[in-house]
Amino acid sequence: MTNSKKIFGVVANFFQNSSELFAKENLTYTMQGNIDSVVAAGALPLLIPIGIPADVNQYLSKIDALLLPGGQDVSPDLYGEAPSDLLGATSTKRDTFENALIQGAISRDIPILAICRGAQLVNVYFGGSLYQDESMIKRSVNIEHDQTKIPVQNDQPSHLVQLKDPTLIQMFESSEIQVNSLHHQAIKKLGKGLTITAKAKDGVIEGFNDSKHHIAAYQWHPEMMFRSDKAMLKIFTKFISDFLE
């Protein structure tokens, strides 16, 4: 009998559609890169639609790991700030549901891989805060963190990141790597118990982990980058070997 594959619960997003392409129906979806990267790493993706906190434990009982992907801005209500005019679209329902998933995963000792919005939400969950827009960051080095404004294709890098974690340095065989960047919010105050693993040269936190709770978080999008840079798949395969084998 072959060993069964580990199951990643991938939190889906909700899109209120106005396109004729889907007959103006609403969509529950995830970006294809979230699926492809999990499959390429040797695991199985299982979509978790945004729902109600009461259903979280039943969802978590079906999975071995949780993937929190990108999406809407995290509501500043969660870290005690008034919304800025620069704030993008938010989803209270998604924030509430994913926070319940984080809490449930931690209580069940289920590892969490968080990307972009996912990383920002985890940071806020642990008491951290965010810059509501990158223009609010005081920095001497200017880096555009939303590469759609440059523009650069999603799977191509747009800036350098300095790795602070020996494991990442060994994995990428370098203390500096190029990453893509598709966000306008950024981590301001780091959450309690979290350790920085990567930073951009303008000081923006690009990665952190929490070894106690088996959490690895990245601000960039390895699930997109691995289409052109296979080394980025190591983020998924190393996560599996560290926490799921």
Where in the sequence numbering do the catalytic residues fall? 116, 221, 223
Closest listed residue to residue 92, CA positions, set 53, 63, 66, 148: 53
